A and B are shown apart, each in its own frame.
Chain A
Amino acid sequence: MKELDVKRQLHRVKRASKRRSIQLIISLSFTIVSILSMAFMTFAFYTNYINTAKATAIENNKQVIEQISWNLNSYLKNMMRISDSMYYNVIKDLDLTSDTMNNEMDLLYEANKDNLISIACISQDGALISAAPIATRKAGVDFTDQAWFYSTEERIENFHFSTPHVQNMFESSNYRYYWVVSLSRSIDLNYMGYNRRGILLVDMNYSAIERMFSRVNEGGTGYVYLIDSEGEIIYHPKQKAIYTGLVNENNTLAATYEDGNHIERFEGKERSIIVKTVGYTGWKIVSVVPIKDLAAPYNQLRAFMLIIITVTIFLIVFGNIFISKIVTDPIRRLEDSLNYIEDGKFDESNIYIGGSHEIRHLGRTIKSLVGQMHKLMDERVKEQKEKRKSELNALQAQINPHFLYNTLDSVIWMIEAEKYPEAISMIKSLASLFRISLSKGNNIITIKDEITHARNYLAIQKVRYKNRFEANIDIDPEIENCVTIKLIIQPLIENAIYHAVGEMEDDGLIDIKGYQKDGDIYIEVIDNGMGIPQEVLDNLLTEKIESKGKGSGIGLWNINQRINLYFKEDYGLTMYSELDEGTRAVIRLPKLTMEEYLGGEGNEK
């Protein structure tokens, strides 16, 4: 059952979609166009905004890196200056066989101790010549085994910067140890004019470097780390985790990067890399920002935009529905008006005129067309009606030639039998009959004239039928001056004679009554003949295309049609009959005087 309902609903939707009202087409197409345009614009603006924001973030990182690079460079230059100062201003001038450099070294150390851990001068064979601050050399430590020592020995012309390490030269107290970066250089030591090679070692405080970087890494997205030219990590916020294998870093690859921006994929994540080489050392400052973090600050913005888009789409959909409704409402109403016309209701007042100029013009045009059509149709109906009237009147006006022949034959017989008064009376009746039949061409006559016509007809027929039937006429005098259509009573009397009382011996009776009731006039023609079978009675007043001779009923239909044509359809002829009892024909007419009729007081259809 449910499935059936769903199917029915689907069918309805399908049918509705096929119907595609103008409102649906307008609202749907506008909505699609608006949403597509908005989506495109939003996407373009958003992408542009995010890209700009990303570029700004990268630019900011660049500036940060520039700043660190500058700081680090200053720091390292300062360390090199210390080394230079110690070497060129002190050591070069000393004869180590007689002089010491302890005081100068101490002074230099004291002046820079925030950034320095120690300064030491070591002979080529690893003997400590001098050191500041003064400390006990660690037992069992061979300086020649230290990385800084052999790297200096390998390339004596250069400054050498080590990777960070724990200083392992001097005894420390209270469980203290120092992380240092060793700056070493090869120097010439003077022993009574003889030069021997030695090493000047400046152990820089690693904390200074660490502080520089950790300040940068404290806030914001991503992080910055420092590597040497081989990719060995000098500083990294997760340095220990990297060394213990808990975290990985792409430092080896980063060492191969040129200065500038790079995008790399590491451990499945896309990252923005900015590389800056630090002057003399070959160290590289590497800034890492996951691409997704660049856009992370805009998540809130994205959510906000989604809300705005949803509401805007809603507004667009509503707006389109509303506007299309305003636009299409007059068209729909005009369509409703046309539906009325389609149903045959040619009422101009039903034509809707409203909406935009074009629709109003269309409405007015249709209204004008309907008016003209209505007028043409009325004229046509009138013409048809007149034609019909003429046809029916002409038909009614035909005098049965047999009736005329028989009447004249009866007159001849009377004259031959020297019954002159009767013959005269019959001729008078016939003359009166013809006079009223003609009625100067008028179809509307008074009831009085119509009754007179009926009397004349009865008089003639009674002679012809040798008074085999009786006829009573009882007309309310008040209605005598009211109008009727001519020749509507005589055919009823003729029917009564021919089909009822004409064949009876001598007890045939025709009653003609005229009276008024409820503002209308009723004229009844009643006979006591054998009556009409119901099936015949039912067809008596239906339309007859042609006469099928005597008793075809065309006369009765004609009477009814003529009354209908001249007066409203409420009026007309009604037949009642009972077998062996007789037949009653009732004519119902509006109660109108000739003046009223001619004044046209609502009697016409």
Chain B
Amino acid sequence: MKNKKLITGFIVAVVLLLVVESYIYINNSRQQKNQTKITFVVTGDNLDNYENMIAGAETAAMDEDCFVDFINSPTEYGVDGEIDLIERQLTEGTDYIVTVSSDYEAMKEYVKKANISGKVLFVKNGSYGDLKNSIMVDDRELAGNFVDYILENSKASKLLLVSTREDVNTDTLREEIERALSDSNIKLEYRLLSATSGTINQSMYNLGQSRFFDGFITLDFETLEAAAKAQSKLKNKVEVYSIDNSKEAVYYLDSNLINALAFKDDYSMGFLAVKEALTGNLRNKIEADEKLYYISDKETIHSDKLEKVLFPFVK
């Protein structure tokens, strides 16, 4: 009778033990399969423009148990389109959002309101040091160093600073360039140009042809492209200094159509955004070592270091 009780108790205990251990085992397997998902919501009509950032993010994700996805919100939808995408991604279970927003201020406001600041990282477009959860280039430092380069290498006495928009991404650069050149021998004038393709190209050509200015400092892609085209037509009569990180900008520099390029390192920003999302503590260390931007000219574009940064691998 006692033995029967003992055997019954034993069987019950073994079954319980197996159930508990199976639960732990299955749970453990599930946890192993649960990847962290990081979605980059970026502004723009073509993801090709984020090739470097994608490469950086994917490289960072290689060693981690995480999945990185990039989706773009067409420019015409503005920040609303980006917010819509973010909301959809969060609903679908994305763990972290990394955003390159067309309207940093509006996006910042939305993130605060939606109380998702712990899940959203701001990259590239925005104000440096404004938010904790952001990986930005220090535009003031970049502008300061770029002006130093110009002062050292330029023969121009009058430069035109051009941009097609006034926003958080260009304002800081403009302010710092104006400030840095204010005490120099170079006179600087700023003009906001129309972004319409034909108009801006003609404007830049005319400005170069007029000889009112010895060169241009372009703050965005549209003015860079127009300046490069004008330069091509003008046979290098003017100096062109650009701040941009498109492959076209690198091409123009390599083709001698612009004199120098301040290039923001999308690759590193993509890489750091993923690491930051996963660990939350890498940024400070990396930032201390890396500036996340480079200043290159014809002499240095094919240097050992810059060549690998400016020309994405394997086309």
Interface residues of A (CB under 8 A from B): 139-140, 165-166, 168, 171, 175-179, 206-207, 210, 237-241, 243-247, 299-300, 303-304, 307, 310-311, 314-315, 318, 321-322, 325
Contact = CB atoms under 8 A, between A and B. Distances in A.
A244 B267 contact: yes
Interface string B212-244: 000000000000000000000000000000000
B314 A322 contact: no
A237 B308 contact: no
Contacts of A177: 251, 254, 311, 315
A245 B55 CA distance: 15
A311 B311 CA distance: 59
Contacts of A245: 289-290
18 contacts: A139-B256, A166-B307, A166-B311, A171-B255, A177-B254, A179-B315, A210-B314, A237-B62, A241-B267, A243-B309, A244-B308, A247-B59, A303-B28, A307-B18, A307-B21, A314-B13, A322-B3, A322-B6
B62 A238 contact: yes
B290 A168 contact: no
B25 interface: yes
A178 B256 CA distance: 18
Contact of B267 (A207, A240, A311, A322): A240
Contacts of A318: 6, 10, 13
Interface string B279-315: 0000000100110000000100010010111011111
B245 interface: no
A179 B308 CA distance: 10
A177 B309 CA distance: 14
A243 B311 contact: no
**Most chain A beta-carbon contacts within 10 A, residue among B3, B250, B298, B302:** B302
B87 interface: no
B314 A140 contact: no
A175 B251 contact: yes
B59 A240 contact: yes
A240 B313 contact: yes
A246 B271 contact: yes
B167 interface: no
Pairs of residues from A and B, 3 with the lowest C-beta to C-beta distance, nearest first:
A175-B251, A243-B308, A307-B21
Contacts of A176: 315
B192 interface: no
Contacts of A244: 265, 267-268, 271, 290, 308-309
B235 to A, nearest CB: 12
A328 B13 CA distance: 24
A298 to B, nearest CB: 13
Given A299-B32, A311-B18, A240 B314 contact: no
A140 B298 contact: yes
A314 B55 CA distance: 52
Nearest to A246: B271
A307 B19 CA distance: 11
Given A166-B302, A240-B56, A322-B3, A246 B251 contact: no
Interface of B is mostly: helix
B131 interface: no
**Most chain A beta-carbon contacts within 10 A, residue among B24, B248, B307:** B307
A243 B286 CA distance: 14
A474 B26 CA distance: 101
A140 B256 contact: yes
B140 interface: no
B29 interface: yes
Nearest to B298: A140
Contacts of A139: 256
B135 to A, nearest CB: 12
B247 interface: yes
B272 interface: yes
B18 A241 contact: no
B14 A311 contact: yes
B279 to A, nearest CB: 13
B116 interface: no
Given A241-B59, A244-B265, A244-B290, A311 B21 contact: yes
A298 B255 CA distance: 54
A239 B25 contact: no
**Most chain B beta-carbon contacts within 10 A, residue among A177, A239, A240:** A240
A178 B315 contact: yes
Contacts of B106: none
A304 B29 CA distance: 11
Given A177-B251, A240-B313, A241-B60, 10 more contacts: A139-B256, A140-B256, A177-B311, A207-B314, A237-B59, A244-B268, A244-B309, A310-B21, A314-B14, A321-B6
B17 interface: yes
Contacts of B29: 300
A238 B21 CA distance: 40
Given A139-B256, A237-B59, A322-B3, A314 B17 contact: yes
Contacts of B315: 176-179
Nearest to B271: A246
B19 to A, nearest CB: 11
B21 A175 contact: no
Nearest to A139: B256
B14 A240 contact: no
A165 B307 contact: yes
Contacts of B28: 303
A310 B271 CA distance: 43
A250 to B, nearest CB: 15
Contact of A240 (B13, B18, B55, B290): B55
A303 B27 CA distance: 11
A429 B91 CA distance: 131
A281 to B, nearest CB: 20
Interface string B246-276: 0110110011100000000101100110000
A168 B299 CA distance: 12
A240 B272 CA distance: 13
Nearest to A326: B3
Contacts of B60: 241, 246
A307 B289 CA distance: 47
A244 B263 CA distance: 13
**Most chain A beta-carbon contacts within 10 A, residue among B250, B289, B311:** B311
Contacts of B10: 318, 322
Contacts of B314: 179, 206-207, 210
A171 B265 CA distance: 25
Contacts of B268: 244, 246
B286 A246 contact: yes
Contacts of B24: 303
A139 B10 CA distance: 88
